[in-house]
Copies of this chain bind each other. A is one copy, B any other.
Amino acid sequence: MASMGLRERQKASRRERILEIAKTRFQTDGYTATTIELIAKDADISAVTVYNYFDSKAGLLLALVSESDQLLIRQLKTMIARKPANLVDAVASFGQILRRHAMSYLTKSTWREVLSASINEGSSDFGRTYLELDNVLIELMHAMIVEFQERELIPASVDSAALADCLFSLQNIRFFQFIADDNRDDEDIDRRLRRDLESLKAVFSA
């Protein structure tokens, strides 16, 4: 990257700087208490410049979230590599890793901002970034299912991509519910997700 001109280097480093400052601010003072003005002051720039780098306050937050994604992906891959014994356990583990990772990073209240913005801004940068994130996770779910097929625990005739999308979605809505309700804990959701899969098994095995 030595070929980058001053301008480009400045742009990249300024972006990093904003992200860095926002991260600590969000963590120490919380999302709502952190104003864009404050972040700008910390970074010695004007508030408008922050908007020049990020679409919105929520967009800044999402950029931070997507940074943490590499770790999440690694954790999921490790789980998949351990070859879970059955689909129900596998999907449940998948969800659990997601939830725990989410909670290690942000509070539920802050996650609500992320999810809420992800719906509202399907077209913006934010929306696109979020969709990419989801797609990576769906890819992982897919890989997991293909492995089940290779081990012949799932018939090869099943459309693995369709199933991956569907199972991820099911897990995802339970994640939404987990985030939406402060009183719902990890085990609560784990039970519910397992119950979902068990009832589906019950109807369709008939």
A positions within 8 Å CB-CB of B:
87, 112-113, 115-117, 119-120, 122-123, 127, 154-155, 157-159, 162-163, 165-166, 169-170, 172-174, 176, 179-182, 192, 195-196, 198-206
Contacts and interface: CB of A to CB of B under 8 A. Distances in A.
Which 4 pairs, one residue from A and one from B, show the smallest C-beta to C-beta distance?
Answer: A204-B204, A166-B196, A116-B120, A163-B199
19 contacts: A112-B120, A115-B119, A116-B117, A116-B119, A155-B203, A155-B206, A157-B202, A158-B199, A158-B206, A159-B199, A163-B199, A163-B200, A166-B195, A166-B200, A169-B173, A170-B170, A200-B200, A200-B204, A205-B205
Contact of A170 (B113, B127, B158, B169): B169
Contacts of A127: 180
Given A157-B202, A195-B162, A201-B204, A180 B116 contact: no
A90 to B, nearest CB: 12
Copies, count: 2
Contacts of A195: 159, 162, 166
B159 A202 contact: yes
A158 to B, nearest CB: 4
Contacts of A159: 195, 198-199, 202
**Secondary structure class of chain A's binding surface, majority of residues:** helix
B170 A119 contact: no
B158 A203 contact: yes
A196 B180 contact: no
Nearest to A87: B203
Contacts of A119: 112, 115-116, 119, 176, 179-180
Nearest to A123: B182
Given A116-B116, A158-B199, A201-B204, 20 more contacts: A112-B119, A112-B120, A116-B119, A116-B120, A119-B180, A122-B181, A122-B182, A154-B203, A154-B206, A155-B203, A159-B199, A162-B195, A162-B196, A162-B198, A163-B200, A165-B192, A166-B200, A200-B204, A204-B205, A205-B205
